Structures are given as C-alpha cells and as structure tokens.
Amino acid sequence: MIFRCYPSSLLSVLGGRCFQLGKLLILLGLIMSPSAWADNNGDKVNKVKAAFIYNIAKFVRWPDAYQNQDHLQICFYRTDFLGKGFDSIVGRDVHGKSVVKTTVQDLTQVDACSILLISNFELPHYLNEYADSPPAIGLLTVADLTASTNHGENRSGVLLSLIRRGSSIGFEVSLLQVRERQLQMSSQLLKLANILDKEKR
C-alpha cells in the first residue's frame, strides 16, 4: 500500500496519514542536546527512540495473519533497554491495535511479536541465534545502533536500524529483507530512510 501526501502548507497535513507523516518528519528532524546524548540511557533519549518506533509502525503493513491479533506487541530481545522511556507509547493506537510490550529471551518466543527491538549490546547474540533459527514472516526486527558507528551494513535478520546522524536520529532499512518478511512500508517513509540495498529495489 502506498500513501501519498503532497502538502502545500502546514495546514494541509492536518488530517489522516498526511498528518502522521508530518509528525514523523518533525520527529526525524528532532535534535538532541549533547548532554542528552551523553546520558544514552536517559529517559529523554529513550522517549525519542520509542516515538520513532511508534511513528514508523504507523507506516508499516503486516501480513494478513497478523490482523487477527488484538494488540500490536512490541518485544525486546533479552533486555528492555528503553525502560521507562518506552512507556510513553504503551497503550497507544497503531492501525486500531493497542501497543503492548514484553521481553523475550530467544527467537522461539517471538510468535506473538509484531516488532522485535534489539539493543546494540545484544545484537551479536541475536545474529548468532538468527543464523540457526530465523523467525517466521511478518516480524519487523529493529536494531538500535545509535550508540555505534558500525552502521551502513546490511545485516541478515535486521530489517531496520536506528542510527545517529550528528545530533539527531535517522534510520536504515534493508528493503529486500522487508519484502522477504512480507511486510510493506510506505513509500513516503522509505524516502526518509537510508536504503541499504538500493540496487534491489
């Protein structure tokens, strides 16, 4: 599904998905203070990351099998690294479903998850486990690489990565893996991303 929004003024984005895209654009331009980045576990930074994930989810479509779920379950892989910062989006609505969160210890526990969040610290463990038992279709895997300079790499099993761009946050997408996982991302969202496999679009 493709969403189109051609705002000629700020007032023209005050409805539907165009308004959501406007909020996302504002979010992507948000500058964090050096002191906020210095405390990477601080609630302020974690709330911004949670808001990123929430807004991105609004521009993703999951396979039909996920439509029967009562909630949009966002799972943390082994560690809830966003803590209280994530609580700002719990209970909010995405595609008519309330956001809930849980923590899973391995990939055998992700059947009910729509999004799997992976910290930079847990990423090596996740990649090792993924190589042996990749999850089923429909799971959006998101790695937090904002504390790392090791990005720009297309990692098998990581569909989207949060990255640091100077004093702001951006994101990278493996579009080929998104399609293999039978997910759809809005073309408007993809315009804001660094696509890691452009030649395969």
Measured in whole angstroms, the distance separating CA 52 from the mean position of its chain's CA atoms is 7
Dist. CA 105–CA 75, nearest whole Å: 10
Amino acid at 10: L
Q: What does pLDDT average to over the chain?
A: 81
pLDDT band at residue 101 using 50, 70 and 90 as cut-offs = very high
Measured in whole angstroms, the distance separating CA 138 from the mean position of its chain's CA atoms is 13
* Residue 6 pLDDT: 33
Dist. CA 129–CA 107, nearest whole Å: 7
Query: Which of 19-23, 122-126, 182-186 comes out lowest in average pLDDT?
Result: 19-23
The domain spans of the chain are: 13-200
What's the CATH fold of domain 13-200?
Rossmann fold (3.40.50)
Higher pLDDT residue, 201 or 7? 201
Question: Beta-carbon neighbour count of residue 131 at 10 Å?
Answer: 10
User: For the sheet containing 168-173, what is the strand order?
Assistant: 93-94, 97-104, 71-77, 115-119, 140-144, 160-165, 168-173, 194-195
What pLDDT, in 10s, does the model give residues 156-179? 999 999 998 877 888 999 999 999
The pTM score is 0.82
What pLDDT, in 10s, does the model give residues 142-156? 999 998 888 888 999
Amino acid at 120: N
